[in-house]
Amino acid sequence: MSRKLVSFDWAMKKILRQKANFVILEGFLTELLKFDVKIEEVLESEANQENEDDKFNRVDLLAKNENGQLILIEVQYSSEIDYFQRMLYGSSKLITEYISKGDSGYKNIKKVYSVNIVYFYLGQGEDYVYYGKTEFRGLHKKDDILRPSKRQQEDFNIDTISDIYPEYYILRVNQFNDIAKNSLDEWIYFLKNEEIKSDFKAKGLNEAKETLDIMKLDDKARAIYKRKEENKMYKNSLLYTAKLKGRKEREIEIAKNLLLANMDIEFISETTGLSIEEIEELN
């Protein structure tokens, strides 16, 4: 039987920053990025250090792996129409922050992985995991991808030009159908349901099951977490109510226009979803 665990964003803020718990983050990132990730340290970006009003680059967790690469992990619940731009801003600003810390020359630009875990319907598409990287393709020969020279490969320790540029991952958690077909799906199941099934084998999940158990929090931490979850439910309720109110106002406006066009009241009711009594009041 699966046990209720703390949410991943709470864990990132309160638990996963501790070195003893890096194995959980390493497991998640290894399953997602498809190469072994060893975290050297958890950092703070200068965007977070500047001021609380710098909301364009709210980094939930910034990690550096043993190869010096930077990994941003962000959890986002509220819908933002410009979220794609925000992803670009975040990775770009991070690159400039870390090249300004004493490095000289463009060759020392840090590789950035941007991991975005979103709980709203971002963009249009049927999948729940998306990956993006930068490639340069020939305009006349579509299969021709520009490659670094032998000297560039040796000097910069790269195989492809895309190894230099940021890579982006988007996990649209609410699009997941709760059927875990592979180890990454097992992690996404946890991200969505805050539960880990007993037969899950993905890297890091066994440690997460033990470390993130709500019942293992002390009384103060459990009370804070409970209040945070209640606040989240209240906020979702307000958003849902506002959405219904907006929908109702649109239905009333449509009904008024149909009444002006002398349409039948029953037809208007079927079209808008308003009751006959509500439409008669408008009339």
**pLDDT recorded at residue 134:** 96
* pLDDT attached to residue 51: 43
Tokens of 160: 């492809």
User: In this structure, what token pair is assigned to residue 14?
Assistant: 């309160």
Residue 36: pLDDT band (50, 70, 90) is: very high
Q: How far apart are CA 68 and CA 103, in angstroms?
A: 13
Q: What is the pLDDT of residues 223-276, one digit of tens each?
A: 777 776 666 666 667 666 766 777 888 888 888 888 888 888 888 887 788 888
pTM for the model: 0.76
- HEC profile for the chain? CCCEECCHHHHHHHCCCCHHHHHHHHHHHHHHHCCCCCEEEEECCHHHHHCCCCHHHCCCEEEEECCCCEEEEEEECCCCCCHHHHHHHHHHHHHHHHHCCCCCCHHHCCCEEEEEEECCCCCCCCCCEEEECCCCECCCCCCCECCCCHHHHHHHCCCCHHHCCCEEEEEEHHHCCCCCCCHHHHHHHHHHHCECCCCCCCCCHHHHHHHCEHHHCCHHHHHHHHHHHHHHHHHHHHHHHHHHHHHHHHHHHHHHHHHHCCCCHHHHHHHHCCCHHHHHHHC
Distance CA 52, CA 90 (A): 15
| Residue 187 in tokens | 């992690």
Phi, psi at 197, each rounded to 5° = -70, 155
* Token pair belonging to 123: 């963009």
- For 162-172, what is each residue's pLDDT tens digit? 999 999 999 99
Four-point Cα dihedral 51, 224, 197, 193, nearest 10: -60
Task: Report pLDDT for 241.
Answer: 74
State phi, psi for 116 to the nearest 5 degrees.
-120, 115
The angle subtended at Cα 258 by Cα 253 and Cα 262, nearest 5°, is 145
Q: Is the pLDDT at 120 greater than 80, yes or no?
A: yes
The predicted-structure confidence for 180-236, as pLDDT tens digits, reads as follows 999 999 999 999 999 999 999 999 999 999 888 876 777 777 777 777 666 666 666
pLDDT band at 88 (very low <50, low <70, confident <90, very high): very high
Least confident window among 25-34, 92-101, 191-200:
92-101
Task: Find the mean pLDDT for residues 65-79.
Answer: 89
Task: Supply the pLDDT for residue 234.
Answer: 62
More confidently predicted of 229 and 63 = 63
In the predicted structure, residue 175 carries a pLDDT above the cut 80: yes
Residues 50-72 have a mean pLDDT of 69
